[in-house]
Copies of this chain bind each other. A is one copy, B any other.
Amino acid sequence: MPMKIEQPPRQKNIAAPYLLFVGSARSRIDAKTAAGIAYWRPELCRGQLRLDAEAVDLGLPDMSIQQAAAEGVRTLVLGLAMPGGSISKDWVQTIVEALRLGLDVASGLHTSLSGHPEIRDALATSTASLIEIRKRNLEYPVAGYRKRTGKRLLTVGTDCSIGKMHTALALEAAMRAAGRSVDFRATGQTGILIAGPGVPIDAIVADFVAGAAEALSPDAEPDHWDIIEGQGSLFHPSYAGVTLGLIHGSQPDALVLCHEPGRLANSDFADLPLPTLEECAELHLRMARMVNPAARLAGISLNTSALSGQEANLQLQRAMDALGVPAVDPNRTGVAAIIQELDRC
């Protein structure tokens, strides 16, 4: 089967194996990037570096920088958001040590690390590199609104951190296993660290977000699917603009709506209730149809990990009844029902 015609922008390859820096993160959500890489690409991960015993355990061997260097680790991956927004001494010390021992350091943070004096000094005398995913290859044109060949699916959600990347990766894996022509298109630092190519869409200058999304998913063979990792939510007041630029540039044929039953309020603002599934699907579809009138909802993806099997089935059935499309939990039911639905797009 012929593959896609063009390639999207590529990030410099990040050398495996990885040591995942977990810092003092107390939960998988706090160490979201590290947890995502450990889950989706365990073969790339040699160990984890936790700064204290209370830090979340990703099930990888605990390892110091020295041990990692001795075991052939190539890259220290900063796998969590920086607490407070400014870099702490612990972090600087770890990064400097990694660079001194010849490990590359990959960071998905907005905050530039290369300007820190100690890190800059370590870089000057190291053979290793600092790879700042949110600082590279960020020049894109304004969106041209041209209809592209091939098919596109975009995951959307009721909130941030609600399964958009996970669902997209699950769809890609299942479609690839079924012999389909498919690519995961990463739009966030975790997705890029997992997949290699991608655009850190939230780090793009606002005028060019939709243009970057167009470049991420170029013309392709008619039966090829790009599975584009969604970001934010139209209902999240800090990030809705990023979400909308991504929708407009992606021109999706199919949307998959991600949600976590039981999450009632916005994860950042407890006084902001989440929308209903119906409301959320309707608004995201409306925006997608501005650029692709054929866009349709292809499924719902629920994270039911906190529920019993019976409760999960009830939630999946309710979602299906409410929206008339398949509802899945990638980890419980697989995503086959959504893939079947794609044949109608």
Contact = CB atoms under 8 A, between A and B. Distances in A.
Given A145-B272, A244-B244, A269-B145, A237 B210 contact: yes
B244 A145 contact: no
B206 A201 contact: yes
Contact of A242 (B144, B206, B246, B268): B206
Interface in A115-146: 142-145
A240 B145 CA distance: 12
Contacts of A148: none
Contacts of A201: 206
A193 interface: no
A205 B203 contact: yes
B210 A202 contact: no
A110 B211 CA distance: 14
A244 B235 CA distance: 11
Interface in A188-212: 201-207, 209-211
Nearest to A138: B205
Given A145-B237, A291-B237, A207 B248 contact: no
Contact of A238 (B143, B235, B272, B287): B143
A159 to B, nearest CB: 13
A126 B55 CA distance: 55
Nearest to A271: B145
A241 B211 CA distance: 11
Contact of A237 (B143, B205, B238): B143
A40 interface: no
A269 B211 CA distance: 15
A64 to B, nearest CB: 33
A244 B240 contact: yes
A290 interface: yes
A205 B110 CA distance: 10
Contact of A248 (B143, B145, B240, B248): B240
| The 10 A-B residue pairs with the shortest CB-CB distance in the complex, in nearest-first order | A241-B245, A202-B207, A143-B238, A241-B241, A241-B244, A237-B248, A145-B237, A206-B242, A244-B244, A206-B209
Given A203-B205, A241-B241, 16 more contacts: A110-B207, A143-B238, A145-B238, A202-B206, A203-B207, A206-B209, A206-B241, A206-B245, A207-B239, A209-B242, A210-B240, A234-B244, A240-B244, A240-B290, A241-B245, A244-B244
